[in-house]
Amino acid sequence: MANQLGKRYRCGDCGMEVLCTKAGGGGVSCHGKEMEVQEPRPIPSSD
């Protein structure tokens, strides 16, 4: 699965996290496993 710009990826084994700063066709992996795409964190609402 391609790397998407701005998405954060996390490795389940060592807990390393990376932020994609340039999209690309390959899928980033760590410890031989595809890293998980992190969900965007909700911004605390101010209303």
Partner 1 sequence: MATKVGTRYMCTVCNSEFIVTRAGEGELMCCNKPMEIKAGGK
Between 22 and 40, CB nearer to partner 1: 22
**Residues near partner 1 (CB under 8 A), total:** 26
1-47 positions binding partner 1, by CB under 8 A: 2-3, 8-11, 13-32
Between 32 and 40, CB nearer to partner 1: 32
CA 21 to CA 43: how far, in whole Å?
A: 21
Report the interface residues with partner 1, using CB under 8 A.
2-3, 8-11, 13-32
